[in-house]
Amino acid sequence: MHVSELHIKKFRIFENVKLSLNPGLNVLVGENNSGKTALIDAIRLTLDTNSAEWTRIFESDFQNSSDTLSIKLKFDGITPDQARNFVEHLTHEERDEGVRHSVLYVTLTARRTEVIRRGSRLIRTELRSGINGDGLSIEREIRDYLSSTYLKPLRDAEAELSSGRGSRLTQILSSSKHFKRDGVHFESLLKGLIAASSEAKNNQGLKDNRSDIERYVKELTFNTDKFDLSIQMLGSQEFDTLDSLERERAFQDILRRLSLMLDESKPLQGLGYSNILFMATELILLEQEESDFPLLLIEEPEAHLHPQLQMKLLKFIRDTYSDTNSATFQTILTTHSSNLASKAPLESMILVSNGAAFPLTKSETLLDPEDYVFLEKFLDVTKSNLFFAKSVLIVEGDGENVLLPTISNLLGRPLEDYGVSVVNVGNTAYTRYAKIFLRRAALKSDTSKLPIRVACLRDIDLWPESADKAVNDEVGFKTLKTRNKHFWLPRTGPDGTNFGTAVADKKKSLQSFKIQHEGRNHVLEDLQNTQVFVSDEWTFEYCLIRSGLEEDIYELVKGEDDPAFAGLPADRELRAIKIYGLIESSSLKTDVAYRLSQKLIEDYSDAKGKDRLLDKMPAYIKAAIAYVTEPFSTPPVDEEAATTTADTGGE
């Protein structure tokens, strides 16, 4: 049994959200104030929790000026044993022809009234079953049965593990299979403590203190009052004389005096390991309630845990309890940790953004099945920061990864000020990462688009004819081969044949994604809120050279025997090929990027540096930066010239 759907109306940031949930692991990711905590709270307010906390609806939970809100949960996978607890509340739905399934709907509705109590408006709530929330009222017993285990952020683990009526250790031992009330362990524990208590009652110190107290009682009471003062202990009665209720009280009394510590020789532990111990007790409690409805809600499990422990925790929950095909119990957690996000299966993730939720399951995204396999392997800690960004820059190499943050900062568009993540994915897999943000439902509705802008920077990778060393041995460094003919701009070969790739054709190819939809292959040209910005010429570094940074870059790469900049060819294309050849032939791209980043900071950080650098930037780079941040005061480029966006995809 699990929560399969969550439907929220007018609750906090959520106007009207319907979300499908996995039966196993669900990981809510997204930036701050996107709605992750609100989703967790919606569930726990509806179902309540099995901790001692008090949950209720506040005025601040109503969205804007609305006086009503509703939260509806749908439960699926109900077993016959579970169904008998709420059979009168079940709804029977026909999914396959002639086959009906039993599901449970639980709807919490709240309404603000005009009644003022203690300075606040009275809020009336109802909890009902039925698909429309108009069925029978949900009894307290059923709500207790459905209650969730909730681990709040920055919890006080030490307090939870200390002795007391509601301690986790008390709950674990009380419901443990090792302490069956008719079992030998239960009996031996009580008999042992009764015997110890009986012996303790004969302690002379206790007897003397009893006598002192008795003397004062006699002084403070009448002579006619007769008392037989005694100090009561568990050993006042033998085990066999206790009835079942007295035995249970004695057992609970013992449990409330027990506390749990991680290491007896080191009683003081840090917050991290205290939280690990606390979570271990919660997982044991959930295991003991497996036959009921085990639901685990965790907010920010990374609190107090270093990265390796974070990943070990998630891996344990994922592998042990929440495998999609054989989930022991359902887990819904929120996180801001890219470490946790990198270890979570992509299909378990739900991207929460601006009051909307977007599951990353196969039925919801435009990712192909093999894309999930690839991303599961290569979506590492660094790349996983894309789940927490307002906008994303997907780049193909180290040069862009190193230089774009510096260039953006010097142009007055610091990426961190706009919540932009730069993700370096290499030159073969960028479509896999970009398709994370493409929604299947958005093929039919604009409202289903993910509100995160994604800019993909791509090299056009078409070589000018003068780069052929057989054509121009002064600057050329490329060799014409049969297997690389598609990399050349259109040209005529030595044998008189025409070959190469036209710029327009290459751009169109780079700016469209191949997808599978409804059993057919499509070429998707409308990429929703994703755009592909293709280099004006050849590569990122070559464009920087051609656009105005040729002298800056040449000074970083020229050798001792190379001429001064003035000694290079006067033709700008030939000069750019010569400089780029020095970079590529010596595999200096990353090294040049780091050194150029520092040089740009030194040369363009003055008052007029922004405008000077803006004039020297390739059009597609300016357009991409403007897309993920905000437009420049004077539009630097006609974006239609830098990227192609069509309304529909073709076959």
Percent of the chain scoring above 90 in pLDDT: 54
For the segment 556-602, what is each residue's pLDDT rounded down to a tens digit? 999 888 999 999 999 999 999 999 999 987 777 889 999 999 999 99
Closest CA to 459 of 485, 483, 496, 430: 430
What pLDDT is stored for residue 315 in this prediction?
Answer: 85
Non-local (6+) Cβ contacts of 495 within 8 A are none
- Judge if pTM exceeds 0.75: yes
Residue 100 in contact with residue 113, Cβ under 8 Å?
no
Assign 646 a pLDDT band (cuts: 50, 70, 90). very low
**Strand, helix or coil at 269?**
coil
Non-local (6+) Cβ contacts of 224 within 8 A are none
Q: Within 10 Å of residue 521's Cβ, how many Cβ atoms? A: 9
Assign 649 a pLDDT band (cuts: 50, 70, 90). very low
For the segment 245-302, what is each residue's pLDDT rounded down to a tens digit? 878 888 888 777 777 766 666 655 556 676 777 777 777 777 776 657 788 898 988 8
**The pair of three-digit structure tokens given for residue 472, joined into one six-digit string:** 């121009």
Per CATH, which fold does 2-161+294-358 belong to? Rossmann fold (3.40.50)
The better pLDDT of the pair 432, 241 is held by 432
Chain mean pLDDT for the chain: 86
Percent of the chain scoring above 70 in pLDDT: 90
In terms of DSSP H, where are the helices of 348-397? 369-378
For the segment 351-378, what is each residue's pLDDT rounded down to a tens digit? 999 899 999 999 999 999 999 999 989 9
Average pLDDT over residues 459-463: 96
What pLDDT is stored for residue 155 in this prediction?
Answer: 56
Residue 445 in contact with residue 435, Cβ under 8 Å?
no
Could you give the angle at the alpha carbon of 272 between the alpha carbons of 268 and 273, nearest 5°? 55
Q: How far apart are CA 426 and CA 351, in angstroms?
A: 24
Map out the domains of the chain as residue ranges.
2-161+294-358, 168-255, 369-461+505-549+591-642, 465-500
